[in-house]
Structure 1
């Protein structure tokens, strides 16, 4: 178990770094002796989970992760069920469209489609993990989860004195069927999100629109809300949700 934990620490360090890392840098980042790090790196490299640049001797993630990611992408039939609707929404609202999936106390940005007609974009990278208590998409997912699961996440992330106000937000989101956030992660931005449900009636994720807020009008906001909620309903139907 300890070996797996250490290996995952290495993977996480490489994943969050914008450049390749040396064995010394990895040892420092993970708090492990160089000898232990060397042994772990050799094992990970054997399975193509990491790769080393022969010239610089620096390490980065291996191609195996791309292979696994594409297999997962294909396994949920993403293109026909979700991406097509994301593209339709992008063309209609001419803003960046996101699809997020819940992963414990965090949400993973699973896909993003940018509008070629809009050069002023809100860009959150695919693969970014965001705490579930932050942002329209995440709060929308929380609001529509079963209470036991949402309470567990809220208890882990939200301070006791902030819980009444936070739960009020979730109640309003569930009542309206969509969530809105303003500058929660990036100042000067606004996001509108709607839930996506699977065949079992569980929250599969959330589709959201991210855009700058300086030119937002009430009319445009209502336009975004109407379209993102309709997209969420269509995707849910594609996933065999009958609610």
Structure 2
């Protein structure tokens, strides 16, 4: 399943003569995601109406139905949008600390945990205000999203540390993906530095994978 293009922020252009004109310079799909995000900061998911999202995005309700099919289809697409944005940021953090896998992991995990606290749809899930269909996206029906995230993270690991065996890289990426989804469903239950703790546990495996392929075997 292909995720939608990353969301960008933009000011909304109001008009009375063209009520279904998307936000100036923004593709309709991106405008819908931005509108949904804004609405969710004030409105629980159960009260969100597609008509409201369409009006705020500057598109017709039929456009939303054509692109997403239903409220759940919109939420699912938004979840993939958020996942891709998170993966992009994680990949950037890994690349910025390529010389230290532990620092890379700690930075990426801290960014992820902080970002989940700011995303309105994730907050609705964590606060128990999401419909059961949304909960299944990150629990019993999380398989497709998990595979998508794991694939993106495995690609990032391979690009930052090309010496890592692909099988090990995929296993590591899948572990991180599962952790990420679990923290979307339930936020950290402690005030301790969760990112540092996770990095302390996970970094040795990544460091070993990097070192194993970096050290040349003895000649002869």
TM range (shorter): under 0.3
Q: Which has the higher contact order (CA 8 A, sep 6+)?
A: 2
Greater fraction strand: 1
Greater fraction helix: 2
- TM-score norm. by structure 1 comes to 0.25
- TM-score norm. by structure 2 comes to 0.28
